[in-house]
Structure 1
Amino acid sequence: MISESTIIEVKQYTNELLISLDHKYLFHNWNHTQEVVRVSMELGKQCGLSEKDLSILKVAAYFHDTGHVKSYTNHEEMSARIAAEFLEIRDVAKEEIETVKSLILSTKLTSPCLTTMQEILHDADLSHIGTLDMERRAKALRKEWEYLLGSKYSEREWLELQISFLSHLRFLTEPAKIKFEPILKIHIGHMKKKLFDLSSKEK
């Protein structure tokens, strides 16, 4: 089990890394990480994880976006490396470090989730889309992509992208399905209406 003192150090270290990011990181920032940690713990307890697994999950949640300090793309691999380097010098068990790394890597949208812990972190990382705050967060992500990736979308393109992504997204744990999917469906409905209204105006 990863000790509480180590977890406190992890929180301090990841906070330092993430608050050092450029102000253009409007979505992937310390606030997002804190949210992912909180939801991970909530879902983990609801899914019956042991204290040991909860400690590993919390550490992975804190580190999962730290790779942004080195690279925007493939940041998951960088995050896993940063976590491993930090934990190794604190004599965390090799097995626990490997689990932390696998959890971080599973947050990549193209990666399959093979364990309950991976499913929990996946759901926590995407939990904002099942909240009333989703629209504001989506706008922040859109701006972040524009600033850091040079990706610009028209209103139609953005709505189509969001509808496609959200319609295909699935929460994986039962607690997340119950809590987030009803609101997610409402968001999809609102976006489809916006797209319909936009199409009507263009005619």
Structure 2
Amino acid sequence: MSSLQELYDEIVACRRCPRLVAWREEVGRKKRLAYINDEYWARPVPGFGDPKARILIFGLAPGAHGSNRTGRMFTGDASGNFLFPALWRAGLASRPQATGRDDGLELRGVYITAAVRCVPPKNKPTREEFAACSYWTARELALLPDVRVYLALGRLAHEALLEHHRLVKRRFPFAHGAEHALPNGLTLLDSYHVSRQNTQTGKLNEEMFDAVLARAKALAGIS
């Protein structure tokens, strides 16, 4: 079995999905004005975190000017600006800010990854792209044997995890705060995605997300 580092190297070199390869690289060339002097990552973004994690946070895909720029999941955009302070408040991160791969941030008991590793146009991966990236999901989860809780951020992440385990979606309906006991003994816990769209409209607020993280810790046996 490969190590997480060996898997990271394979993921970063992936060019399986031509549409995603073209888009991630175009975003990296055009850049956003605020980051015009940054060198964009513009490659697949591997997961990161504690190799002995008991909680797996599972998102949808990298953000165009967040992860696709910094090369680390949820780092450098509004979603991360909501997520990492919450993890820090919960004692699951060493600091509340995430700015880049070398910022010193460490996760404790948590690993973060996503259903799709490349930024998709309009933030909408195709079914074929989800399927292609499920190969990496299977490899990654096999290297995280201590995980007890999946925390899915949003319906699409929730459904991708069910697809991975070949589970019937209608038996495990998505809802914020919902808990699903899976046949493998793990718990699938749901939250609305930490996107700017949700947090700025109040669909998801700090109190709601803190409660989900507290429940994830309890289910995972993290004090």
- Aligning the two structures, in what range does the TM-score lie when normalised by the shorter sequence? 0.3 to 0.5
Computing the radius of gyration from Cα coordinates, the structure with the larger value is 1
Q: Give 1 or 2: higher strand fraction.
A: 2
Q: Give 1 or 2: higher helix fraction.
A: 1
